[in-house]
Chain A
Amino acid sequence: MLINILSGDKPRSVILTVLLLGILVALAFAPFLFPGVRSLETAARICIFIVLVASYDLLLGYGGIVSFAHTMFFGLGAYGVALASENMGRGWGSLAVGTVAGAVAAAVLALVIGLFSLRVRAIFFAMITLAVASAVAVLVSQLSGITGGEDGLNYSIPRELTPAFRLGEFLGVKINGKLLNYYLVFFASLALFLMLLRVVNSPFGRVLQAIRENDFRAEAIGYRVIYYRIAATCLSAAVAALAGSIFAIWLRYVGPDTTLSFEIMLDILLMVVIGGMGTMYGAVLGATIFVLAQNYLQNLMGAASEATTGLPLIPDLLNPDRWLLWLGVLFILSVYFFPTGIVGRLREGRRA
């Protein structure tokens, strides 16, 4: 039963199993274990990023395709919900319409980009997605009449999902709409993640892996490489858009910085690489570690920077604004020395 839920893809390492269970329990009971607005915010972010990173892993880790447009799809989902809520008014209907519209738009856009670039060379895809994603980001901030431009959009979601909707108290924690909203995020993310796990362990996922290892041979065996690559692109785009929709429902705000920026794209790349490409569970570990680090390490950097004020250059290097610098270094080092990521290392350890 349990193995069926995991689609037969067991963690295959004791430490990994313990870590995953720990993360699952922590996220499932986050409002009770870690009361407070900030920790709930962090927990929701982790859930959403697990889905986003897992959908990217489908593309990068299983399909061997590098895309720089994943935030664009994420943003499409988020703006779908935002625009629907803005124009159709507050209600569950507009959330549903926005979510579906965002996912469909993402899949169609992915199909078009894939048809143009994957047909020839897989590396075209990396460049073209970079170009298209930056064009879309600029477009969104320019079309301020529709998208709110740089300021983004604030909108209201059904009352049942906001803190104003109170139900009472349980174990010293207020049960309100925010809590319900968190569980919506949690269960939607869990369902999407399990679905992705199902996909990568299906015959379809197997073929994708075969294409990643040797596309020429896969084609020779009789699989149409291009179909599989495009299908993976569309699926991953649609799931990213769904993650974006969940994010928009949780945050009640969308803006270019929170959904479309290149920085988020880098975050996703780093989470996949640190966690372990092509493992799905890597997405869970990568996203959890990264979001926690992002939330709490930046404060540490600020403190370190202040502590070293007298020295030349070092305070500048430790400035919290230079967070990206250290990410970049970490990124390069992990691609070199840690290509299988945490999950890969844990699994190797068991075999040895």
Chain B
Amino acid sequence: MSAAPDHTPTFAQISLSERIGKAAPLLLVPVMVALGFLAIGSPSSWLTLTVSGLAMGMMIFIMASGLTLVFGLMDVINFGHGAFISVGAFVGISVLLVLGSWTGAPSLALNVAAVMLAVIAAMIITGALGWAFERVIVRPVYGAHLKQILVTVGGLIVIEQMIHVIWGPDEIFLTRPETLKGAFTFAGAAIEKYRLLAVVFGLVLFVAMRLVFKRTKIGLIVRAGVQNGEMVQALGYRLRLVFIGVFIAGSALAGLGGVMWGLYQEVITAGMGEEMMILVFIVVIIGGLGSVEGAFIGALLVGLLQNYIAFLEPKLALVSNIALMTAVLMWRPQGMMPVVKAK
């Protein structure tokens, strides 16, 4: 018997351009911030706009993360996701209005407690609603994209109209809790307290999500499920349960995003979810469907660009997002960080 042929596997060095290619989306955010600085010129306005852009981006990310995961895990595209944003906002703001004496008091502890209660109520309600939505609307149409889109759009309309029935047809105005009002000056730039809080909160949430995904077993199952669901099931995990969990969590996050957005805008309407859905879709598409990191970067880009453009040329603000999406899709047709499916 002849000896096995000499076979020493060699690993080709990853070229520099490939490394940069992988990291390129991460670099886009600082590039965007730098370009914004050059275009705007005045450092103080730039700082204000950057903070509000980042705040907006964080909130969009919170809303988008659930949607992109649900798609990655089960190939379900949920056009009704926006409904959870609206419901979350209405529930949360109703709680805040009931706790008017807490939010009106100039005490930080009472204010934070009121907001926390509002957030918890909103997340519980939207989570439960998400569970029901998955049960009633989404489950019968697995595997059929066309029907999924149609049925979830129907669900969006029904939930939105039910908001009208329950809370009345008018928009609701609100004021932020006392200690979150106003702005402080930093390096000559006025920075709203609430926006800074939203940025911090969003960052904490993103880091927490990453830790869950990278360090816990459930995170491992979810990530594996996104890459190759059948194999995960073959290994004995009930992916359906995981999926339902992710759907509920995603809906609850949308509700949280809704509360934050409502506090940011200081007005809520039943149609706000539908409006936000447009941005959420853009973010999810440019991030790469199924990718949480991609959605994070996409959300920051959209938030920053929208704020810069709104300052420079207000009429172009909405079109700028479409332009961004076009540019990204020209560069990477699958989105910035496409999820590699093992199939």
Q: Which residues of A contact B (CB under 8 A)?
A: 60, 64, 66, 116-117, 119-124, 126-128, 130-132, 134-135, 138-139, 142-143, 262, 266, 269, 273, 313, 316-317, 321-322, 324-325, 327-329, 331-332, 335-336, 339
Docked-complex contact A66 and B149, CB < 8 angstroms: yes
Q: Of all chain B residues, which has the CB nearest A322? A: B161
Docked-complex contact B150 and A131, CB < 8 angstroms: no
Docked-complex contact A124 and B158, CB < 8 angstroms: no
Docked-complex contact A325 and B165, CB < 8 angstroms: yes
Interface residue? B137 (CB, 8 A): yes
Docked-complex contact A321 and B151, CB < 8 angstroms: no
- One of A123, A131, A273 near B321 (C-beta < 8 A): A131
Which of B103-111, B114-122, B274-282 faces chain A? Answer: B274-282
Docked-complex contact A135 and B322, CB < 8 angstroms: yes
25 residue pairs bridging A and B, Cβ less than 8 Å apart = A66-B145, A117-B329, A119-B333, A122-B145, A127-B77, A127-B285, A128-B281, A130-B278, A130-B281, A131-B278, A134-B275, A139-B318, A143-B315, A266-B157, A269-B153, A313-B165, A317-B165, A324-B161, A328-B156, A329-B154, A331-B154, A335-B147, A335-B150, A335-B154, A339-B147
Interface string of B296-339 (1 = CB under 8 A from A): 00000000000000000001001101100110011001100000
Top-5 shortest CB links A-B: A328-B157, A325-B161, A332-B154, A328-B158, A331-B154
Q: Which chain A residues border B140 with CB–CB below 8 Å?
A: 336
Q: What is the interface size of chain B, counting residues whose CB is below 8 A from a CB of the partner?
A: 42
A120 to chain B, nearest CB (A): 5
Query: Told that A130-B277, A322-B161 touch, could you supply 9 new A-B pairs with CB distance under 8 A?
Result: A64-B146, A66-B145, A66-B146, A130-B278, A134-B318, A324-B161, A325-B162, A331-B150, A336-B140
- One of B150, B158, B282 near A269 (C-beta < 8 A): B150
Q: Which chain A residues border B321 with CB–CB below 8 Å?
A: 131, 135
Interface residue? B43 (CB, 8 A): no
Given A120-B333, A273-B150: A328 and B318 interface contact (C-beta under 8 Å) = no
Question: How far is it, in angstroms, between the C-alpha of A317 and the C-alpha of B284 when the chains are bound?
Answer: 35
Docked-complex contact B147 and A322, CB < 8 angstroms: no
Interface residues of B in 18-73 (CB under 8 A from A): none
Q: Which chain A residues border B157 with CB–CB below 8 Å?
A: 266, 324-325, 327-328, 331
A323 to chain B, nearest CB (A): 9
Q: Which chain A residues border B153 with CB–CB below 8 Å?
A: 266, 269, 331
Docked-complex contact A66 and B162, CB < 8 angstroms: no
Which of B150, B169, B322: most chain A CB closer than 10 A?
B150
Question: How far is it, in angstroms, between the C-alpha of A321 and the C-alpha of B170 when the chains are bound?
Answer: 12
Question: How far is it, in angstroms, between the C-alpha of A143 and the C-alpha of B77 when the chains are bound?
Answer: 33
Q: Which chain B residues border A324 with CB–CB below 8 Å?
A: 157, 161
A68 to chain B, nearest CB (A): 8
Question: How far is it, in angstroms, between the C-alpha of A119 and the C-alpha of B335 when the chains are bound?
Answer: 12
A320 to chain B, nearest CB (A): 12
Docked-complex contact A328 and B278, CB < 8 angstroms: no
- One of B146, B154, B164 near A321 (C-beta < 8 A): B164
Question: How far is it, in angstroms, between the C-alpha of A269 and the C-alpha of B137 when the chains are bound?
Answer: 17
Docked-complex contact B146 and A329, CB < 8 angstroms: no
Interface residue? B155 (CB, 8 A): yes
Question: How far is it, in angstroms, between the C-alpha of A134 and the C-alpha of B146 when the chains are bound?
Answer: 21
Given A66-B150, A328-B154, A335-B151: A128 and B145 interface contact (C-beta under 8 Å) = no
Q: Of all chain A residues, which has the CB nearest B326? A: A116
Q: Which chain A residues border B165 with CB–CB below 8 Å?
A: 313, 316-317, 322, 325
Q: Which chain B residues border A317 with CB–CB below 8 Å?
A: 165
B79 to chain A, nearest CB (A): 8
Docked-complex contact B334 and A120, CB < 8 angstroms: yes
Docked-complex contact A328 and B147, CB < 8 angstroms: no
Question: How far is it, in angstroms, between the C-alpha of A213 and the C-alpha of B169 when the chains are bound?
Answer: 42
Q: Which chain A residues border B334 with CB–CB below 8 Å?
A: 120
- One of A123, A138, A316 near B318 (C-beta < 8 A): A138
Q: Of all chain B residues, which has the CB nearest A142? A: B315
Question: How far is it, in angstroms, between the C-alpha of A143 and the C-alpha of B314 when the chains are bound?
Answer: 12
Q: Of all chain B residues, which has the CB nearest A127? A: B281
Q: Which chain B residues border A126 with CB–CB below 8 Å?
A: 77, 79, 149
B300 to chain A, nearest CB (A): 18
B96 to chain A, nearest CB (A): 24
Given A131-B325, A273-B150: A332 and B281 interface contact (C-beta under 8 Å) = no
Docked-complex contact A123 and B278, CB < 8 angstroms: no
Question: How far is it, in angstroms, between the C-alpha of A317 and the C-alpha of B161 when the chains are bound?
Answer: 9
Question: How far is it, in angstroms, between the C-alpha of A142 and the C-alpha of B317 when the chains are bound?
Answer: 11
Question: How far is it, in angstroms, between the C-alpha of A130 and the C-alpha of B156 when the chains are bound?
Answer: 14
- One of A131, A138, A316 near B281 (C-beta < 8 A): A131
Interface string of B235-262 (1 = CB under 8 A from A): 0000000000000000000000000000
Q: Which chain A residues border B155 with CB–CB below 8 Å?
A: 328, 332
Given A127-B285, A332-B158: A132 and B322 interface contact (C-beta under 8 Å) = yes
Q: Which chain A residues border B322 with CB–CB below 8 Å?
A: 131-132, 135
Question: How far is it, in angstroms, between the C-alpha of A126 and the C-alpha of B152 when the chains are bound?
Answer: 12
Q: Which chain A residues border B319 with CB–CB below 8 Å?
A: 135, 139
Q: Which chain B residues border A127 with CB–CB below 8 Å?
A: 77, 281, 284-285
Q: Of all chain A residues, which has the CB nearest B155? A: A332
Q: Of all chain A residues, which has the CB nearest B162? A: A325
Question: How far is it, in angstroms, between the C-alpha of A123 and the C-alpha of B76 when the chains are bound?
Answer: 10
Docked-complex contact B333 and A123, CB < 8 angstroms: no
B116 to chain A, nearest CB (A): 31
A275 to chain B, nearest CB (A): 14
Q: Which chain A residues border B156 with CB–CB below 8 Å?
A: 328
A202 to chain B, nearest CB (A): 23
A327 to chain B, nearest CB (A): 7
A40 to chain B, nearest CB (A): 31
Interface string of B144-184 (1 = CB under 8 A from A): 01110111011111100110110001000000000000000
Interface residues of B in 97-147 (CB under 8 A from A): 137, 140-141, 145-147
Given A124-B285, A332-B158: A322 and B164 interface contact (C-beta under 8 Å) = yes
A318 to chain B, nearest CB (A): 10
Question: How far is it, in angstroms, between the C-alpha of A227 and the C-alpha of B27 when the chains are bound?
Answer: 35
Q: Of all chain A residues, which has the CB nearest B140? A: A336
